[in-house]
Chains A and B, each alone.
Chain A
Amino acid sequence: MYINKLNTHIIPFKFEYHAPKSVEEAVELLSRYGEEASILAGGTDLLVKMKQRVIEPKHIIDIKRIKDLTGIREEEDGIHIGAATKLRTLERSKLIEEKLPVLHEAVITMGSVQIRNMATIGGNLCNASPSADAATPLLALNAEAKIVGSEGERIIPLEEFFIGPGKTALKPDEMLAEVISPYLPENAGTSFMKIGWTDFDIATVNLAVILKLEGEVVDECRIALGGCAPTPIRVHKAEEFLRGKKLTDEVLEEAANIVSGHVRPRARWRRAPPEYRRAVSRALTIDALTIARKRIEGLEVNRGED
């Protein structure tokens, strides 16, 4: 059947709307309706897909009225962010800005003010775009996903949460409840960078770096790359290569080559060919590492500098 994806005036099919007040109630609905249900958080991805009939859920479970799913908490093991917390709340949070600057730097690049007033952190992760902008900083932060379902609760590393484009480790009766991000190592420098069609477009390639130096030598480096593989990924090979090395131009080049070597072309890439993504991921690696180092040295760095 021909579907006109340009008619986005209406949602062209019927569904039942549910607005549970508690996580238990939401899980109950999920286990009752399984794959016929979709969770509605901000709606900025879901409603577009519904208008275009990419998906046609029979049940919509709106989780925005569940208080337990929103908010930012400082705990011993890290910062806990409710899945339905809006991007705008993260943007305005001094706690996020100070403790998780790499996440803050990513969030402020996501969409427009309107989009950030609607979109949620959990929605960005569950939508599981390979270039989700919240995913790369959280992967670099070693964040975990707290998942609830009819069988109870489980916590998995975010690295195991993404399993393919638009696919997560969530079972049909499960939902993401919280993201838990450990604190940064002391004196770490961080950087998030992205390249997209326009300033507020989804990234074509994005990259997050967390760097810790011991003198001039890399003590620990974490690199997460988006838009280059079926999921956002950690580039462990480059991280291992950098450990114990001085960040000379040659070392930066080699690290960048390792990162760009992780570009795995997908048949559905229409927006930018693999060569472009390789070139961009190489450049972003060098820039992000350089900026992270400058930040350790206490230098102010503006986004987009050189």
Chain B
Amino acid sequence: MRIRFKLNGREVEAEVEPNTLLLNLLREQFHLTGAKYGCGIGECGACTVLLDGEPILSCLTLAVEVDGREVTTIEGLAGDGELHPLQRAFLEEGAVQCGFCTPGMILTAKALLEENPNPSEDEIREYLKGNLCRCTGYVNIVKAVKKAAEEMAG
């Protein structure tokens, strides 16, 4: 099946099977390997991408479902070689260790800050609870999201 959609701001086309998952389309055809295969059953959030701006799980989405829609992956976040404030804050706060959860974590945090530009720690933890991290213990991730929020507020 032929599908067309917007991927990181660019109109793209792809030929997919009905059983192709969005995650595998992104990784294998578009070579965007930021979104990760973690659990495959909707518990870890490593495959999170934004669909029309909302975080969803690309491992539980058929590729055909995104026909005519807009997908943003972590690769689409930095503009003109300039990191997104969230990406910078994650680096500065040491919110990245192995990095496996980071793309999903940052995309979910991006949706949070668009919805709620000044979240409390509880609100950050609640919003990010579908993104599991086995390294950091979350403390620096929460700090990074707060820092990015402050920076984005100017």
A-to-B contact residues, CB < 8 Å: 7-11, 13-17, 19, 40, 43-44, 47-48, 51, 60, 62, 64, 88, 111-115, 117-118, 199-200
Contacts and interface: CB of A to CB of B under 8 A. Distances in A.
Given A17-B18, A48-B42, A113 B130 contact: yes
Given A8-B40, A62-B65, A64-B65, A115 B19 contact: no
Contact of B21 (A7, A10, A13, A64): A10
B56 A118 contact: yes
Interface in B25-62: 37, 39-42, 45, 48, 51, 54-57, 59-62
| Secondary structure dominating the interface of B | mixed
A224 B120 CA distance: 34
Interface of B: 1, 17-19, 21, 24, 37, 39-42, 45, 48, 51, 54-57, 59-62, 64-65, 108, 111-112, 127, 129-131
Nearest to A60: B18
17 contacts: A9-B37, A10-B21, A10-B24, A15-B18, A17-B64, A43-B65, A44-B57, A44-B60, A60-B18, A62-B62, A62-B65, A88-B54, A111-B42, A113-B55, A114-B45, A114-B108, A117-B51
B39 A8 contact: yes
Contacts, number: 83
Contacts of B24: 9-10
A13 B19 contact: yes
A115 B131 CA distance: 11
Query: Chain A CB within 10 Å — which of B17, B37, B57, B59 has the most?
Result: B57
